[in-house]
Structure 1
Amino acid sequence: MTPTTTGYTTDDLATVTELAVRAPSMHNSQPWRFRLDGGAIEVRTDLTRLPDIPAAAWAGRVSCGAAVFNLRLALAVLGKPAGVVPRPLDRGPDVVAHLVPDQPRPASGAERALYAAIPRRHSNRAPFSADTVPADLRFRLRQAAEAEGGWLDLIIGASAVNALAEVVNAANRVLQRDEAYAAELARWRRDAVAQDGVSVRAAGYAPEPHDLLPMRAFGGRTRPPGRDYEPEPLVAVLGTVTDRDDDQVAAGQALQRVLLTATDAGLAVSMFSQPIEVPAARERLRSALGRHGVPQMVLRIGYARQPGHPSLRLPAATVIDPPR
């Protein structure tokens, strides 16, 4: 890779940050900061946004990794693609990546398709239809994870899905007994439309004891008759080979490529991080998969019965810091 001699500008940063902040983050907490650093774009975690959860560092790095992937797409569409330097050694522990200008080139068709999906992607916590995700789309999702150095295991068969669901539910029960976790969840619950957190509209339906997979209790609406969740969802586990800090940033990039690939294909997705937040559950999940690698997220994938409601974001200008 031969870098260009011209760095990114403040206008470039303002433009691409509008897309970066559309990345997913735990509780829609948006734990990221952006700034110019000698012509590169620096992405940093802001863990003041996640003060009360044990897995805050992991959540921050995965969220920022997803934002990095959006930045890559936005810069490519500008004709100013970037090379990514993960976790630069000469920077502080909060710096997850530098995006360094690469040789100018037109964006590829695949980059443009994923870029177009950024504004349309959001978690859909509502029930999905019973329609099966076809084999070619399942293959595309696995390819998307592998393109970013990750892996995506699709959990096939009722017994395997039920076993995974028990791991997720067990982790959820552990978290619910933690007072700090309950306080953190309550802090991000929004009664009305807000620029962060999860509103009642975006929360979907309130969780019920018989649900296969436990949605977080963000104060969702009471479920009307006939609106149970699908009995056999397509469930996937996204992971990486190892679990260093830079692997977690890479996991965020892989996660976002999978999510945007799903959106481009007309699929809906919701995420379950509970078994990643509880170390014993994470190890149990890894062992059940027979993987030497490390799980980073559980996904539920399907076709939406209703479009769902995206969560809003803070204005991009509020997460951009002055240049170094």
Structure 2
Amino acid sequence: MDRQALTDERAAEFVRDAAAAPSLHNAQPWRFRHFRGSRTFELRADPGRALPHADPQRRALHLGCGAALLNLRVALARGGWHPAVRLLPDPADHGLLATVRPAGPGTADGALAALYPAVHRRHSSRYPFDDTRLPERIRTALGDAAGSEGAVLAFPSSWHLEEVLELLEEAEARNLTDRGSGQDLADWTRPDDSSPVGAAPDGVPGYAFGPRKRGGKAPMRDFAGDRPVAGRAAAEFERSPQLAVLSTAHDRPEDWLRAGQAMERVLLLATLEGLSTSFASQALEWSDLRWPLRDPVSGTGHAQIVLRLGYGPEVPATPRRPVPDILDIRP
């Protein structure tokens, strides 16, 4: 697409693309401002959509907003613009996470633009994947995608994979009996939403819960908790789940934003490669379980997210808030 004037309508289209990003419990903790005069976008945190129990430091909020920022960059690049980004530009304004000024013309990043077809195709799948091993070519490409955003993507194997799976299993067991985790599920899951038609605009709807795990080692979060969901089946999941741990050298808000961008870049590329993806973030919600996820060889790095990758069925999208609810256009 050739670069065109940045009208209000195009700004809204770009924000719609940005908001297709994933977030913890699909809380969508972002808001955007667009200033017509400077053609600048602001990405702002929406603190009312934080999860105080699972995410007291708002690390996951920053990851989700970072993912939305990457989508915005991809959409602008596809439109022929170069997105000039500043992270945390105002120390006095903690809600302002980033500014993005479309520059150009003719300076768009082709590698970013090429990811655009995956922006609205990427969905979190909580269904079983098969045990087909990811080709080494794809693993390398996903690692390079994370590296281009300043993060490291590692595929644990052997004893390290077993350790990661044990940490995730321990976290899920804790969450099932933890009052705060139960409140998060009550606030941000919609078990009665059985189809996309008429579903609430946020949270995880019942049709996206996936089946209950009857067997297998895949580290699945049960969004139903202890609530019955009518018609929900059970299924065998993969015996050899393929996980990837994304980490950063430091653990500051700017690192969380970079990790969110790296996460989304990996997910978009995985989608283009025909992979299904989901998250295994339970252990990251417990500080004593998050620390052992770091690189077992160097003992360094801060795990930011655990991804589950594989070949699985296509799944429907989860809902998103209307653009007018998240975009404020100013002179």
Note whether the superposition's TM-score is higher than 0.5: yes
What are the superposed Cα offsets for residues 40-93 of structure 1, whole Å, 9 maximum, x if unpaired?
100011120124324151111110000000000111111122111001125511
State the 1:135 CA deviation.
0.5
Question: Residue 184 of structure 1 aligns to a residue in which SS?
Answer: helix
Asked if structure 2 preserves the Cα contact closer than 8 Å seen for 1:87 and 1:95, the reply is: yes
Asked if structure 1 preserves the Cα contact closer than 8 Å seen for 2:248 and 2:301, the reply is: yes
State the 1:277 CA deviation.
1.4
Asked if structure 2 preserves the Cα contact closer than 8 Å seen for 1:77 and 1:106, the reply is: no
Q: 1:141 to 1:173 in 2, by over 3 A?
A: same
State the 1:209 CA deviation.
7.7
| Structure 2 counterpart of 1:184 | 184
Aligned residues: 315
Asked if structure 2 preserves the Cα contact closer than 8 Å seen for 1:33 and 1:320, the reply is: yes
In the superposition, the TM-score normalised over structure 2's length comes to 0.88
Partner of residue 35 from structure 1, selected from 33, 42, 59: 33
Asked if structure 2 preserves the Cα contact closer than 8 Å seen for 1:145 and 1:151, the reply is: yes
What are the superposed Cα offsets for residues 267-298 of structure 1, whole Å, 9 maximum, x if unpaired?
01110111111111111212646441100000
What are the superposed Cα offsets for residues 151-187 of structure 1, whole Å, 9 maximum, x if unpaired?
0010123x33221111112222333343122111122
| Structure 2 counterpart of 1:81 | 82
Partner of residue 316 from structure 2, selected from 298, 302, 309: 309
Q: Residues of 2 paired with 1:91 and 1:28: CA distance?
A: 28
Q: Which region of structure 1 is more displaced relative to structure 2, 101-110 or 128-137?
A: 101-110
Q: 1:28 to 1:141 in 2, by over 3 A?
A: same
| Structure 2 counterpart of 1:285 | 293
Q: Residues of 1 paired with 2:242 and 2:51: CA distance?
A: 33
What are the superposed Cα offsets for residues 109-158 of structure 1, whole Å, 9 maximum, x if unpaired?
4333311110100101100012111110011110110010000010123x
Asked if structure 2 preserves the Cα contact closer than 8 Å seen for 1:207 and 1:215, the reply is: no
Q: Residues of 1 paired with 2:155 and 2:144: CA distance?
A: 12
Q: Residues of 1 paired with 2:295 and 2:76: CA distance?
A: 39
Q: Which runs of 5+ in 1 are unaligned?
A: 1-5
Question: Residue 212 of structure 2 aligns to a residue in which SS?
Answer: coil
Q: Residues of 2 paired with 1:270 and 1:136: CA distance?
A: 20
Question: Residue 239 of structure 1 aligns to a residue in which SS?
Answer: strand
Q: Residues of 2 paired with 1:51 and 1:289: CA distance?
A: 32
CA RMSD of aligned residues (A): 2.2
Q: What percent identity do the matched residue pairs reach?
A: 35
How is 1:147-296 mapped onto 2 (pairs within 5 angstroms)? 147-157=148-158, 159-190=159-190, 191-192=192-193, 193-208=199-214, 211-218=217-224, 222-224=232-234, 227-286=235-294, 288=296, 290-296=298-304
Higher normalized helix content (fraction of residues): 1
Q: Which runs of 5+ in 2 are unaligned?
A: 194-198
Counterpart code for 1:48? G
Question: Residue 236 of structure 2 aligns to a residue in which SS?
Answer: coil
State the 1:262 CA deviation.
0.2
| Structure 2 counterpart of 1:129 | 130
Counterpart code for 1:40? T
Q: Residues of 2 paired with 1:68 and 1:121: CA distance?
A: 15
| Structure 2 counterpart of 1:3 | none
Q: 1:261 to 1:287 in 2, by over 3 A?
A: closer
Q: 1:222 to 1:162 in 2, by over 3 A?
A: farther
